[in-house]
Every structure is written in C-alpha cells, then in structure tokens.
Structure 1
Amino acid sequence: MAILSRNKGIFSLDFLVPNVGLLVSILIVEAYFSLVVRPHVAELEITQRLSAAQQSDDEAKVAPRSIYIIIKDPEQEVELMLWLWATIILTYKLVEVGRERGLLRHDFIGVRQGERIIPEDALDRYKELKTSVEATPRWRERLLPDFLLAALHRFQATNSVQDAASAVKERAELVADNLDSELSLIRYIAWAIPAVGFIGTVRGIGDALSHADEAIKGDLSGVVSALGLAFNSTLVALILSMILMYMLHMLQSRQEALILELQNYCREKLVHIMRVPQREAQRRED
C-alpha cells in the first residue's frame, strides 16, 4: 500500500512529478534549442557577416538585438531547463491545492439542523466517514477528511471538545510544516538559476580576457562575443528568477489560505456541534 500511496513510494505522484518533470524539461528545452534557437542564431550570424562585409569602414556597425542571440549559450539553456522544471512542480502543487479546496464544498459530516455530536456517536461517525473516504478514490489521502477523522477520533477518545479542536490545530501545523518542506527543491532551483548565470558571467569575462591581444590589434569581435555571454547569462537568470519567485510566493499564499480554510471548515462543520452532555449538566448545576 505504501508504494501505491500518493505521498510515498517511487510510483507516487509526489515522486514522479519532480523526476519526470526534470526529464521533460530537458527534452523540451533541448528540442527548442536544436530546432529553433541554433538555426536562427546561425542565420543571424551569417547575415551579420554579410552586412559587415558590405559596409564601409566609416559606417556604424550596430548588430541587431535578438532574443535568440541572448539565450543561445549553454548557461542560458540550463537556466531555462531549471526554470521549466520548477514551473512543472509548481503547477502540480497548484493543481493539488485546487483539488483540496474543491472538497470544502462537500458536507462530510451530514448533520441535520439542530443535531449535535456526542462522544458516544463519535466512533460511529468516524467509522462511517472512514468507510466513505476509502470507497471514494478522490477523497483518499486528502487533507480535509484527514482533519475530520483526527478530530472525531480525539473527541471519542477524550470526551473533550477542546481536545478535538487541538487535534485539528495540530494536524494543521503538521501539514503546514510538510508543505513548507516540500518547497525546498523549488527554493534550491530558485537559487541555482542565478548561480548558473554567474558561472556564465565568470566564463564570459575569462573568455574576453583571453581575447585581449586581438582587441589591442583592433579586432573586438572576440571580446564583444565573450562579454555578450557574460551579461546575457546573468540577464536571463535574473528574469527567470523573478518570475519563479513570484510563482513560489503565489503557491505559498494559496497553501496558507488552504490550511486556514480547512481549520475554519472543521470548526464550523464539526467542532462547534460537538457536545459533552455530562459536562454541560455540571455547568448548569454550578
């Protein structure tokens, strides 16, 4: 059962999405560079050489800027692979948040108007809800049923409404920590993209220095090309990092909102209708 679980095992979505996503991002970006970027760059370079040969020495030689020239180097290709990989993971997690929120529209408890849940009924409702969850594939291992089951189990075991509310809060804190830890890979990618850009900057500057002799003789083509790598790799990395960090912020906001909505659902639909007759009778006597 652990292998088939959504959260455990090598056949789970939480394992497959990051690993398959990495493979897919590599294939897509490499195919795009092979079929689109490199042919366009080769064509642009030929056009620039022909244009330079036709220009007189006193004419300005301004090379046209192209997105293909900016992203043509290996560093930019790796940056795009990492960004697409993170985007695939983020998209999957956003879809999961949407599925969890979709369950908030369902009434899992099924309590009639004015009806209350007492400790003697909690076990039966626990078994009934657990059977319904196991019989419905889209409810399995979802957060909301898990929260409700935890509250019912605690209420039946302790005869305390406060303990049931504490069970919901503890479950929410555990889920929040788990969701935050699952974002560690995306945070690493968000750090790795600028790091690759700085590697390109260092490589470009080093390559430019190696063409210093040619620059002294008046041939600046090698220096210009190397500096293009140095600046373009950092430019692409910073742009992709800003986009990725915004997407990460949006995901975290939705996850935090989801946890609050789950807690509110449990309080309104379950905890607030729990009663302990003996304690209420004691309060009346006091």
Structure 2
Amino acid sequence: MDGGFSGQVPKGWASRIIFCGGTGCHPGHFPAEIACAIHPPFQTGTPRRYKTRRKPSNPRRTMEFQCPHCGINMTTEDANAGEQVACPSCSGKFQIPSLSPTAPLKSTKKARHKLRGGWDEEDHANISFLLSLGIGVAVTALFLVMLIPFKGQPWSDIFLKRGWVNYAEVFLFVWGIVILALKWRKSRHQRNAMLLDVAPTSLGAEINAETVADFVDHIYKLPMQLRDSLMVNRIRKGLELFEKRNDNGEVTVILNAQSDIDANRITGSYTLLKVFLWAIPILGFIGTVQGLSQAVGSLSAGGTDPEALKASINNLTSGLGIAFDTTLLGLVLSMIMSFPMAAMQKEEEETLTLIDAFCAEKLLPRLNDSKTSGHDNILAQAESLPAFASSLMQAHEVFLVNLNHATEMLSQAGETLQRRLDSHQTHVEGAFIQSINRLTTETRETLTKPTVEMSHYLETLSKGITSLDETLRKLGGETIVVKKKGLFSR
C-alpha cells in the first residue's frame, strides 16, 4: 500500500510531540509534521524546538521519504532529519533519513492508466437510523435500570415515578446524544483524512494533461481507512474530470457543486436532532397538562363532604408539583442537548470550510489546462468589461426592484402575523380567565353550601326549642329546663 501524509498540521500543533491515542498504533511518538493520520492525537506533549541541522541563515526545506516497512510516502521539514519516529500506518519504528540533494520519490508506473471506477462512498454526515435507534433503546433501558437501586430518592423519582412522559423524554434525549456521538466519530475521521498529502509536489509543481494521471493514481494508493473521506472524494472527482475534459472551469464547477452537496447533506443530517430539540419540552408540557387534568378530576370527585374536599385539595397541590416535574425535565434535557449539537455542527462546518480553502488555495491554482495564456485572458477580460458593467448595472436594478417587492411582502406578512398573534393571545387569555373564574366559583359554592345548610338547620332547631319552651310555660306556668342532646349536649 502506497500513500502520503501532508505537512498540513492544524494551527497550534507545530513543534509538538504527538502521542497517538488510537487502538493498534505504536505507543511511540513522532513529530506533528507527520502526525498519525489513522488515529487523532488525543494527547500532546510539551512544546519543544527541534535541533537545527543546518545553518540558521538557510531557509527550511520540505523533505520527502518513505517508510522502510510499508513504503508509505511522508513529508516533513529537513530540521527533523535523524529523528526516531513511528510510522502512522504500520506503527513500525525507523529513523528519518538525512536530506539528500535530490531525492525524488520513485513513482510506480504499473498501475497507470488502469481502469478506475472509484470506490463505494459512505455517507459522511447521516447516521444509520436503525443503529442509532438500537443503541438509544439499549442505553435508555440501562440508565433506567441503574436508577432502580436509588428508588425513593427525589432525583430518581423524577425519572421513575412520573409516568410514560418522562420515559419518552429520556429516550429522545439519549437517542440524540447517541447520534451526536456517532457523528463525532465520523467528524474525527474527516479530520484525520485532512492530514493526507493528496497532491504531493513530488509528482509535479503543476497539474496538467500529462501529470494528472499520476496524481489520480496517487489518490488510489492512499490508505483504505482514510481514502473514503470528503476531501479525498472531492479532489478525486475533480482530478478525474480534469483528466477527461482538461478544463479548469469545469473542475471549478464540480468542486463548488460537491461543496454544496456536502453542506446540504450535513445540514440535513441535523433534521432529526432538531425535532428532538423541540419534541422533548413539548412532551414535558403534555405531561404537565395531563397531571393538571388528573388533579382537577380528583378535586371534583370529592363531592360535598368537607373532609373529602380537604383531602382532594391536598391531592391537587401535590399533583401540581408532580405535573410540573415533566416540564422541568424536558426543558433541562433539551438545553443540555443543544450545546453539543451546536458544537458538533460548528465542527463539521469548519471541516467543510477547510476543505473548500484547500481546493481554492492549493488545488485549483496548480491546474493548468494550457488553453489560453495569461496575456490573452487579460485582453479578453478587458474587451468584455463594458458589456459586463452594463449587465451588472441591469442586474443591480432588477435586484433592487425585487428587493423592494420582497421587503413589502415581508412587511405585510409581519403585520398579518402580528395581528394573528394578538388575536390568538386575546383568545387564550380570555379562555384561561374564564376557566379560572369557573373553577373559583365552583370551589366557593362547594365550600359554602354545607355551611349555609348547617346554619339553616341550627336556626330551625333553635326556633323549635323556643316554641316548645313557650308552650310549656303556658301550660304549666313554670319553666321546664330542656337538656340538649346531640350536637348541643353539654
């Protein structure tokens, strides 16, 4: 297997010792200029300067060499000559050779002009739905089982004793985190692939019709574990098109189109996560409404018995606390998931930006289709400047007209939306106030009705006793003391 690794090291990695953290890699270390491209550098040692082996007045040069074990091509600065390193591909230890006046890499011609059909490209943005779903179900079940020993604790009861809504919230949250973890693995693979030297200068300072086949063959010799990546796939397609059509303009078009495709694919990969982000708090609100309905139902079931009514009020207050736990959990989980989601999206967009910058700054300037010289291009552009300026002014006028029209439509839509929002808010507030007033009236009537009936009964009883006392006084001429029984016994 033949390939190459680039000296394009991310900013801040220069002059550092990189320890490979990948499984199967050699535990040794090697300079950052040939950092391991199979596994990311999880740990970095303390910065140090390499000993200069040439006079300080001489500028540094890039030297190219091969691994004596697997033959992979690598590049580094000549100041690192003589360093003991480990190959990022086969993990074999060897010493960087000294710089020779002319040490061009031997290119293999056996595979040139062979039939190339590319390779099966993996979706580098979207995660397998069934895989993430299975892992999410397993992790959710494991998490809930681990909480069983802590049953009875307030924080544990939020997950275990609040009904199906909290289970659904936890499952969606875990599923989203699993998707982000799998996307992070894919993004790490893209970062590692960016260390590959996909267009080495040893094959030619420029890429033309005669040398493009060597560059395409070089891409097909890159390590299999890093070949299928966004950057390598995009450059391979551009070079293969240049090999067939020999046109810089068409290569630029296909690179821009592939960039748009990759960006749209990454943006679309977050659709399900965005659904989770608003579905989790919505589930919390549903659980709260469900708890409120059950609490109000227990209040109405109390009847007219004062003791039962008091117990139902206690159940209402406790039920409200339980009901709002679902909303609290939903808001907390959605907020926690939003931070890694934003960070992951930023990292993927930054990777695409770096790939676009490499294609625009490193690859396209080296393409030479030999169709027109620079002088002819300047003359042609100078002749077309008046027509271009005229068309630009016309396009600008059309743009201003369309912009004014769009602004008016947007303003009208905003006014319509504001009116609808005001109407909806008024309707919701009125309905809510009516519900509160009705509940207050029913509660007051339920509480005062037994008191009124009891007062009426006591008043009737008092009148009867008074009437009986007067009757006895008239009959016997003396007052008869009546002993009170029941509620009025002494």
Q: Shorter-normalised TM-score: what interval? A: 0.7 to 0.9
Q: Deviations over 1:16-68 (max 9, x none)?
A: 531222222332233134333xx224xxxxxxxxxxxxxxxxxxxxxxxx323
Aligned twin of 1:189: 276
- What root-mean-square deviation, in Å, do the aligned CA atoms of Structure 1 and Structure 2 show? 2.8
2:286 equivalent to 1:199? yes
State how far apart, in whole Å, the 2-side matches of 1:285 and 1:190 are. 53
2:215 equivalent to 1:109? no
Aligned twin of 2:310: 218
Deviation at 1:216, TM superposition (A): 6.6
Aligned twin of 1:99: 189
Aligned AA for 1:35?
Answer: P
Give me the TM-score of the superposition, normalised by structure 1. Answer: 0.77
Greater shift, 67-76 or 175-184, is seen at 67-76
1:25–1:191 Cα change, 3 Å: farther
Give secondary structure in 2 for the equivalent of 1:117.
coil
Query: Is contact 1:211–1:222 with CA below 8 Å preserved after alignment?
Result: yes
State how far apart, in whole Å, the 1-side matches of 2:180 and 2:170 are. 15
Query: Is contact 2:189–2:226 with CA below 8 Å preserved after alignment?
Result: no
1:86–1:284 Cα change, 3 Å: closer
2:206 equivalent to 1:120? no
State how far apart, in whole Å, the 2-side matches of 1:19 and 1:255 are. 22
2:251 equivalent to 1:164? yes
2:357 equivalent to 1:264? yes
1:70–1:96 Cα change, 3 Å: same
Q: Deviations over 1:155-176 (max 9, x none)?
A: 2233222322222111110011
Q: Deviations over 1:247-286 (max 9, x none)?
A: 2222221111111111112223321211123422773896
Aligned twin of 2:152: 40
Residue correspondence of structure 1 range 234-253 to structure 2 within 5 A: 234-253=327-346
Query: Is contact 1:151–1:164 with CA below 8 Å preserved after alignment?
Result: yes
Aligned AA for 2:309?
Answer: K
Aligned twin of 1:132: 221
Aligned twin of 1:63: none
Q: Which runs of 5+ in 2 are unaligned?
A: 1-119, 380-490
The alignment-based identity, stated in percent, is 21
Deviation at 1:231, TM superposition (A): 0.8
1:284–1:25 Cα change, 3 Å: closer
Point out which structure has higher relative CO (alpha carbons under 8 A, 6+ apart).
1
State how far apart, in whole Å, the 2-side matches of 1:114 and 1:120 are. 10
* Bigger radius of gyration among the two: 2
State how far apart, in whole Å, the 2-side matches of 1:139 and 1:27 are. 35
Query: Is contact 1:29–1:77 with CA below 8 Å preserved after alignment?
Result: no
Q: Deviations over 1:108-142 (max 9, x none)?
A: 1112397111023223422331x224xx2312431
State how far apart, in whole Å, the 2-side matches of 1:142 and 1:89 are. 19
Deviation at 1:5, TM superposition (A): 6.8
Q: Deviations over 1:77-111 (max 9, x none)?
A: 32112111100101111221122022222211112
State how far apart, in whole Å, the 1-side matches of 2:338 and 2:213 are. 45
State how far apart, in whole Å, the 2-side matches of 1:246 and 1:265 are. 29
2:138 equivalent to 1:24? yes
1:276–1:191 Cα change, 3 Å: same
State how far apart, in whole Å, the 2-side matches of 1:200 and 1:285 are. 69
Structure whose residues are more often strand by fraction: 2
Aligned twin of 2:55: none
Aligned twin of 1:52: none
State how far apart, in whole Å, the 2-side matches of 1:188 and 1:137 are. 35
Deviation at 1:150, TM superposition (A): 1.4
Aligned twin of 2:156: 68
State how far apart, in whole Å, the 2-side matches of 1:247 and 1:179 are. 15
State how far apart, in whole Å, the 2-side matches of 1:261 and 1:169 are. 14
Query: Is contact 1:76–1:236 with CA below 8 Å preserved after alignment?
Result: yes
